[in-house]
Amino acid sequence: MRAFRALPMLAVAFLPVLATSVHPQTTTDPNAPTPHALTTNVSFASQYRYRGIAQTDGKPALQGGFDYSHASGVYLGTWGSNVSWLADSNDDVSNSVELDAYGGWRGKLGDVGYDVGVLRYLYPGSYPDGFVAPHTTELYAAGSWRMFTLKYSHATTNLFGVPDSEGSRYLDLAANLDVGGGFALAAHVGHQRIPSGSLRGIRIRSSDDCSYTDWKLGVAKAWAGLDWSLSYVDTDAKAGTGECYRSARNRDLGKAAVVLTAGRSF
């Protein structure tokens, strides 16, 4: 779902062009420093998981986007990925792409970093009458200290098509540790709280039934010109919450999985 964010996919299509101008100059002097930076990224994943939930029903995902940042800390970005969870839920839905757009402000005070912004998830396509739009807007704020990052996201709209779910929130604690030899360990635990409604057309019994916790443990390394990561992903969305995250094909979207990703930034 994340994950948010037809502009991002254009960025993927024109990655070679963008890669040649990752640091656009604002002066005629080619050696003068510039406060602007533009980076692009592209990756291939064995499957797309967002907040622990399968977005491509276990199938591979091609993802990419670009980011602009200014020396003041202001940044803007776009990102896209193929998805299938919406089309899998209803034969009358025509959607295969997630497009995200975001912007914010970040900086550091000594060892303490901060990041605040807004993220818009878009799922272009056609939907039948009565289908709650999955497009979602979240505000977020994050603080980091050394290897740790704590982030809070708050939905100002319905969350990914859940009726009456405005105010849903996600709390995420992550840690990244350099263990030497070019390897880094990454750990994450997050909790998604959904106040009310239904998910993907499945009615729920109470306001808490679709809330869940997810976690991830992985290792990353740069090799052969690519950035590689291998992660174990799991959730507790298996009992009552499991019905909220079960596809129309009766597949558990929150079950444990191992995800391999290879990508590159320019």
Average pLDDT of the segment spanning 218-237: 97
- Domain 7-24+33-265, architecture per CATH: Beta Barrel (2.40)
Query: What pLDDT, on the 0 to 100 scale, is given for residue 15?
Result: 35
Largest CA distance in the chain: 65
**Per-residue pLDDT reduced to its tens digit, 94-145:** 999 999 999 999 999 999 999 999 999 999 999 999 999 999 999 999 999 9
User: Between residues 43 and 91, which one has the greater pLDDT?
Assistant: 43
Query: What pLDDT, on the 0 to 100 scale, is given for residue 242?
Result: 62
Query: What pLDDT, on the 0 to 100 scale, is given for residue 220?
Result: 98
Query: What pLDDT, on the 0 to 100 scale, is given for residue 114?
Result: 98
pLDDT over threshold 70, residue 89: yes
pLDDT over threshold 80, residue 28: no
pLDDT over threshold 50, residue 200: no
Average pLDDT of the segment spanning 244-251: 85
Distance between the two ends of the chain, CA-based, in angstroms? 25
Query: What pLDDT, on the 0 to 100 scale, is given for residue 228?
Result: 98
Backbone angles phi, psi at 74, to 5 degrees: -75, 140
Q: Quote the CA–CA distance of 58 and 52 in Å, as a whole number.
A: 12
Average pLDDT of the segment spanning 246-250: 84
pLDDT over threshold 80, residue 3: no
Q: Which residue has the tokens 């070679």?
A: 16
The pLDDT confidence band at residue 26, using thresholds 50, 70 and 90, is very low
Query: What pLDDT, on the 0 to 100 scale, is given for residue 62?
Result: 98
The pLDDT confidence band at residue 185, using thresholds 50, 70 and 90, is very high
Query: What pLDDT, on the 0 to 100 scale, is given for residue 105?
Result: 98
pTM value is 0.84
Average pLDDT of the segment spanning 74-99: 96
User: Between residues 203 and 82, which one has the greater pLDDT?
Assistant: 82
pLDDT over threshold 90, residue 222: yes
pLDDT over threshold 50, residue 234: yes
pLDDT over threshold 70, residue 17: no
Query: What pLDDT, on the 0 to 100 scale, is given for residue 202?
Result: 41
Backbone angles phi, psi at 32, to 5 degrees: -75, 140
The pLDDT confidence band at residue 249, using thresholds 50, 70 and 90, is confident
CA-nearest of 65, 174, 68, 171 to 121 is: 65
Average pLDDT of the segment spanning 12-40: 57
Query: What pLDDT, on the 0 to 100 scale, is given for residue 205?
Result: 38
Q: What is the CA radius of gyration of the chain?
A: 19
Q: Quote the CA–CA distance of 135 and 128 in Å, as a whole number.
A: 15
Three-state DSSP at 87 gives: helix
